[in-house]
Amino acid sequence: MTAALASKKTSRSQTYWGIIAATLLALTGVLANKCVNVMYPDIARDFSVPIGTTQWLMTGYMLANAITAATTAYLLNRITARKVELIAATAYIAGALCDALAVDFPMLVIGRIVQGIAIGLAMPILWFLVFTQISHQKTGTVSGWIGAAIGVMCTVGPLYSGWACDRVSWRLVFWTLVPAAILSLVLGQLTIRNKPAGNSHPFSFGALALLAVAFACLDVAVSAADSTSLSPLFWICLFAGLVALGCFVAVNNRGATRLFNLRLFAIPAISFAAVSYFLAEAVNVGMQAFLPTYAQYALGASALLGGLTIVPGSALGSVASVVAGKGAARSGFGKPIVTGAVLTLIGTASVALLQRSLTVWLLLALYIFQRVGFDFVYQNTLSHASHLVPAGETADLNAIFNVIGNYSGAIGSGILLSLFAFGRSATFGSALAKAFAGGRLAFVCGALASVIMVITSILVFVTGKRRVSGEHIAVSR
């Protein structure tokens, strides 16, 4: 019996160390993203590209991230998570080195795309391990601590990036990522263990290609919407993206192959949770990309001070994530999700309404509401959704939500930066007047998205009070 208990303790310890290794790799991606948010003006100046073009450092990354995440429902049921982590960590190291050594803007974007591919594998690995190797009673708490770690990166990233841009170079950020990724690689190969469940469906290359085309076309449409008149390119890409997305759904749901089980959306709570998840990350990533840029262009802040605008909110978000996770473990996910949505709305709406009075410090204070609200909503929405499906659907649900979260980040940052560029180009007057006009469009957009998120978050709570049986999913197929 003593040997059995020791073995069980070792297995539990190894499980948590494996989760720590996966978390570490995921955190390098979060840190890089928060650093890049502050780098836009410096990179635009160094490579002589328009500020609107720099959005591809985020949208290219998130696009690659979302497309790669779509493969993980198949991969994690087919091969061990340890092998997938090996691929992810190796790719991330290569991408970080490419960015650190970039000689022009396209090379920088390529490095970010490679990093996006890596984190597109890393995040699903992390949540797959949490949802399959941790009991349901503990997933809320573990998710809260992971959210707290992400919040720390969100706090450190803008400050570190601002300091690097002002005192050394933005390239220092990418050099910093390499040893962290190497540590994750070594620790992960030593501790991550799981037995793949196997696949009843072969991989659908056609569905993946259509999804990639849809996402790419929609991203190009968003980036093309940053001038005073919407060009034919915008309409062509928007139409092509929507058609490709419809074809993806049709191909994925028919035949012997598929990427993941889209029929999970037949469960109302899953559909509402997906919308909330999409909007939460779109507003979060969009504001984190936009606020430091707005502070520098409209409020005359330095890169360091611009990065500071999102630091206190990120720090408090770390605490909020733990509190929300523990609250969900005690009394369910409904209250944290709805509370977070309301706080997000307060933060985004206040910034839009008080724009004429904004200072760096007021912007900093109002962002706290939005960021704390996000940390109440985001991890809890995914954890809640994982409780609504049978264990056999966990990899599919995980892949779907990672695709949604990753692509919403690309869309959110792309839309807000494009609206900012659109407003600046459509307005006459001083540079400050142009920045104000662009900011107004972006702030109103963020507030409207938050209103919708409040509504869908309430519907998640109303419709998701019970766990769905395996029979429900089987019939839905």
pLDDT, one tens digit per residue, over 234-253 is 888 889 999 998 998 888 87
Task: Share the mean pLDDT of the chain.
Answer: 81
Tokens standing for residue 45: 């100046």
Which is more confident, 189 or 407? 189
Q: How far is 164 from 169, CA to CA, in rounded Å?
A: 5
Alpha carbons 324 and 322: distance in angstroms, whole number: 5
Radius of gyration of the chain (CA): 21
Reading the block at residue 38, the tokens are 């502050």
User: Confidence band (pLDDT; 50, 70, 90) for 198?
Assistant: low
Whole-angstrom distance, CA of residue 15 vs CA of residue 410: 32
Residue 342 has pLDDT above 90, yes or no: yes
Amino acid at 219: D
- Portion of the chain with pLDDT greater than 70, in percent: 88
User: Comparing C-alpha atoms, which of 46, 50, 115 is closest to residue 418?
Assistant: 50
Identify the pLDDT of residue 254.
Answer: 76
**What is the C-alpha separation between 389 and 463, in angstroms, rounded?**
14
pLDDT computed for residue 426 by the predictor: 64
With 60 as the cut, is the pLDDT of residue 228 above it? no
Q: What pLDDT was estimated at residue 315?
A: 80
Closest CA to 341 of 313, 381, 314: 381
What's 134's DSSP letter?
S
- Split at pLDDT 50, 70, 90, the class of 52 is low
> What is the separation of C-alpha 45 from the centre of its chain, rounded to a whole number of angstroms?
27
Task: Tell me the H-state helices in 354-430.
Answer: 360-386, 394-426
- Report whether 147 contacts 378 (CB < 8 A): yes
Taking each continuous run of H as one helix and of E as one strand, the counts in the chain are 17, 0
Residue type (1 letter), 191: T
Rounded Cα distance between 63 and 216, Å, is 7
Instruction: Write down the pTM of the prediction.
Output: 0.74
The stretch 379-402 carries a mean pLDDT of 79
